[in-house]
Structure 1
């Protein structure tokens, strides 16, 4: 676990009313689901908004393949987050929405519940967001990466004055929201943060740090030799196996849970595009999987989850699957060029895996036959070769504020002050590393899936920085939470909830001319409840599966 201290940009403190009036009331960096909902919320509160997108689309993972929603408990999803899923239902209530495959009557259980559509296509989610933003009077500014170098964030004391993009444009504001998965604005503004995994001792937890003994899901269920020549360690390790020896369980480290592209595939011939073969494809990269298949692994297609119109949201399943285990550890702190190289490795890995499963003679014939039925969707991600435009950054930087959401808060063992939303999903971490165990076989480490026991509140204090670091910034995505607590909070419906709460707080801070740390919680709570937010568990709440 790497803890990084805040870098002070300038000394002193500037009262809110002295910030230059030019610019917007609220500048939002990041067009994730949280950023989109924050922009709409600010407009509902009569504030001017600048919404800066890192790329040329909105919606983050909600519009990039994560259509099999990780919702946890429907009953604690309220406000504009619930409204989003209701708008999706309105979209699918139209016969014109059903272009391929079955109609609504043939949908699997769980597609529709509580008057909302919980499972959807990326393009449908993007259409809802685009229309909603337009009706709110928000025009996103695309391809606006923040300059993370010196001067990229201008501060006056503890207040952000403006941010500069790589294109040289400056955007001033009275309040700012970092809605990115990476926490790039937060870091550039000198706000303290951490990456990796804390030790269990740091916050009195049981599921943080290295977790080899508790990694039972997505684990090798048979002994698989990890060496290039079986039984010969001197021959070297197969690709995607680390030679590093893990620290004792519960020990903190600087490693990150695995990322993946959530693939939207189809078996509808009329909408199917061929799966690409990487130019530098090497079947040897998947020799560990070949050996595992030979041992009897037969659940390759377990997480080809159906979404409407004959499509899927493909997630990781099993010991060797679509997660690029170990490829992403440098990502949070990497430069833009370095991140691009990391993403390219993930694309090569996943495209090569798909090709291997469909063509390599080491793969059982039944698997190759099934794989041949699938292809990319011609009508998804059309400007990106039908490949998702964004990788699933399950965890990047996490703010280190005065209050840190941790396992005891999620389990209800420690109080959570000033709630501004609720979570309910598993404390969930995908695998972090693939190593050789003491017996000489391949093992994965880091996968944890433990239900917190009930829905739980998320504190306002977890989305505001320390006062001395930034008094006009809110961070609803890369919020202040331990690794394992973040593993539950990090779900798209929750990010929408926290985006709404952050923008509401920003509007109240503007009106009262106070720092975000001094927003009157009673007023914030009243406003959130008036706009449909759920801040405590209802008497009756529908439970959903836990399978992120």
Structure 2
């Protein structure tokens, strides 16, 4: 079994994406025998983007918009990364509707709303809401179905797919790379099911993978896990560095509820283990993982949660059903939905006993399989044992919605990755630049109310620093940050000249990754990368020269601002 056998492919987009080399991909949900081929096709473009997540799609849009030809690969059959294949509704800040992200990201969000208005039988009040939230989930102002995100992103890319400026290779995994000195020359990608190989060459390469997979393949210097306080001087850094201490990942799933029905099947094979599992953490976890309590991220004290799939508000506690709900049946005409649909990305299915970064492929797959067992076990526990307000155990009418996730087993196509390999960058964002408490210590009371002002800003973002429990037993680390800028220096590897990051693999630390890893920031990084490649190409200068030359930098910042990218927060 290879590293990504957990990826299913039951729902291709019906031809809406131009598939290269994907003819004959099976859709039965059973893995086809791989036909190994000895000869590889060769393809060339100005830009080769590896990874079709939020950053990859934004980089492709910006590159094509600026006249470049692009090849983009994606391991699954869905583009969109965390918003689609991973099943995570957008995590955003409170000003997202008006500022704090590129215009193109807001265009994406508005297109999602228009997709529902155009294709779904909304009620009149829902249709009239300017900021329609299809699921009314409390985690986001735009909780929506993963498949809708795929459709909208595909529509945004369609003009470039049609003209041939963009070629999209779905179900392709990069296996190796060619390097000449400090330049990447090509990458080899293999189709998961046919075994077809393709050699992709280009002038510039973008690592938009979820784990920073191109970095080790190209020899690009990078760091993983936690840096020490001595390394970074960060207030919340540990005394000792630990490169294998990474945040938990999660295999999300979707479910609905059918009152009066019994949808319970046999328990998952690891159910007894997870039912009794008590995380070993410092500070201690609240008790068993499968329970309606967890460690409060801010105080680390036990905190009660609630669960009621009828959607009721539960006095004094969060109803997890409403947290990441992506369909609120009340937003649609009577009879459209029998009930709500929600996404499960909760503390109870965060997987921290294993690691995905810099491990052998078999261990990667083993940890993903166990994470799926945890999610299946949580679902079974909700069906059979979760305490109800009426005192009875379990909600037997709960049903997995694999069709919502595009899979047969009900789980997301890809695990939700919170932490990747990070480049050793020209500039590294530290807690003192963005963390509210650390910023106050280094900048004083007045300056401590603002994040650091980066002269080379190429974007903005905002999210609290939110580190989930880690693979080495750290409990939550969660504290306030300030609305921040994204420095160009954090996108520039120290040595390799024609490779740029466009995901969670930029020059942050374990701490600051906690506020740079969310949907709009990843999009901002990707769009800036696409613009930088085009700008540097027109000026015939290396990427680093744009940052080093104040006139070039000023011209670049003005250009991206004209294209709708914000480089500063409003006063």
TM-score bracket relative to the smaller structure: 0.7 to 0.9
Q: Any idea what SS the aligned residue of 1:501 has?
A: helix
- 1:142–1:206 Cα change, 3 Å: same
Superposition TM-score, scaled by structure 1 size: 0.75
Q: Which structure exhibits the higher relative contact order, with contacts defined as CA atoms closer than 8 Å and separated by 6 or more residues?
A: 1
Structure-2 residue corresponding to 1:463: 491
- 1:342–1:277 Cα change, 3 Å: farther
Contact 1:69 1:118 in 2 (8 A): no
- 1:503–1:278 Cα change, 3 Å: farther
Structure-1 residue corresponding to 2:249: 259
Distance in 1 between the 2:380 and 2:290 partners? Answer: 17
Counterpart check, 1:337 vs 2:383: no
- 1:174–1:422 Cα change, 3 Å: same
Contact 1:474 1:516 in 2 (8 A): no
Counterpart check, 1:67 vs 2:104: no
Distance in 1 between the 2:240 and 2:561 partners? Answer: 40
Superposition map of 1:213-362 within 5 A: 250-253=239-242, 254-267=244-257, 274=263, 277=266, 279-287=268-276, 288=278, 298-301=304-307, 302=318, 303-304=320-321, 305=323, 306-309=325-328, 310-317=340-347, 321-327=348-354, 329=355, 331-360=356-385
- 1:475–1:382 Cα change, 3 Å: closer
Structure-2 residue corresponding to 1:217: none
Distance in 1 between the 2:147 and 2:113 partners? Answer: 14
Q: Any idea what SS the aligned residue of 1:371 has?
A: coil
Aligned-residue CA RMSD in angstroms?
3.2
Structure-1 residue corresponding to 2:462: 424
Counterpart check, 1:492 vs 2:519: yes
Distance in 1 between the 2:106 and 2:412 partners? Answer: 25
Contact 2:256 2:341 in 1 (8 A): yes
- The equivalent position to 1:158 in structure 2, one of 165, 174, 182, is 182
Structure-1 residue corresponding to 2:221: 192
In the TM superposition, what is the alpha-carbon distance from 1:382 to its structure 2 partner? 3.2
Structure-1 residue corresponding to 2:560: 528
In the TM superposition, what is the alpha-carbon distance from 1:292 to its structure 2 partner? 8.2
Distance in 2 between the 1:450 and 1:92 partners? Answer: 35
- 1:131–1:106 Cα change, 3 Å: closer
Q: Deviations over 1:171-194 (max 9, x none)?
A: 000111101121111221111111
- 1:339–1:538 Cα change, 3 Å: same
Q: Deviations over 1:251-280 (max 9, x none)?
A: 33231111112322223679x995765552
In the TM superposition, what is the alpha-carbon distance from 1:459 to its structure 2 partner? 0.6
Q: Deviations over 1:439-468 (max 9, x none)?
A: xxxxxx33122121x3111111101111x3
Distance in 2 between the 1:122 and 1:184 partners? Answer: 24
Distance in 2 between the 1:43 and 1:180 partners? Answer: 19
- The equivalent position to 1:472 in structure 2, one of 498, 503, 519, is 498
Counterpart check, 1:25 vs 2:46: yes
Counterpart check, 1:169 vs 2:191: no
In structure 1, runs of 5+ residues without a counterpart are 1-20, 210-249, 436-444, 540-548
- 1:260–1:294 Cα change, 3 Å: closer
Indicate the larger mover: 303-312 or 422-431: 303-312
- 1:496–1:274 Cα change, 3 Å: farther
Contact 1:266 1:375 in 2 (8 A): yes
Distance in 1 between the 2:289 and 2:424 partners? Answer: 43
Q: Any idea what SS the aligned residue of 2:425 has?
A: coil
In the TM superposition, what is the alpha-carbon distance from 1:105 to its structure 2 partner? 6.6
Q: Deviations over 1:213-256 (max 9, x none)?
A: xxxxxxxxxxxxxxxxxxxxxxxxxxxxxxxxxxxxx4332311
Distance in 1 between the 2:520 and 2:173 partners? Answer: 25
Superposition TM-score, scaled by structure 2 size: 0.72
Contact 1:80 1:497 in 2 (8 A): no
In the TM superposition, what is the alpha-carbon distance from 1:429 to its structure 2 partner? 0.1
Structure-2 residue corresponding to 1:397: 421
Aligned residues: 452
In structure 2, runs of 5+ residues without a counterpart are 1-41, 191-195, 279-286, 294-301, 308-317, 329-339, 444-451, 547-551
In the TM superposition, what is the alpha-carbon distance from 1:72 to its structure 2 partner? 5.1
Contact 2:257 2:397 in 1 (8 A): yes
Contact 2:536 2:542 in 1 (8 A): yes
Counterpart check, 1:446 vs 2:475: yes
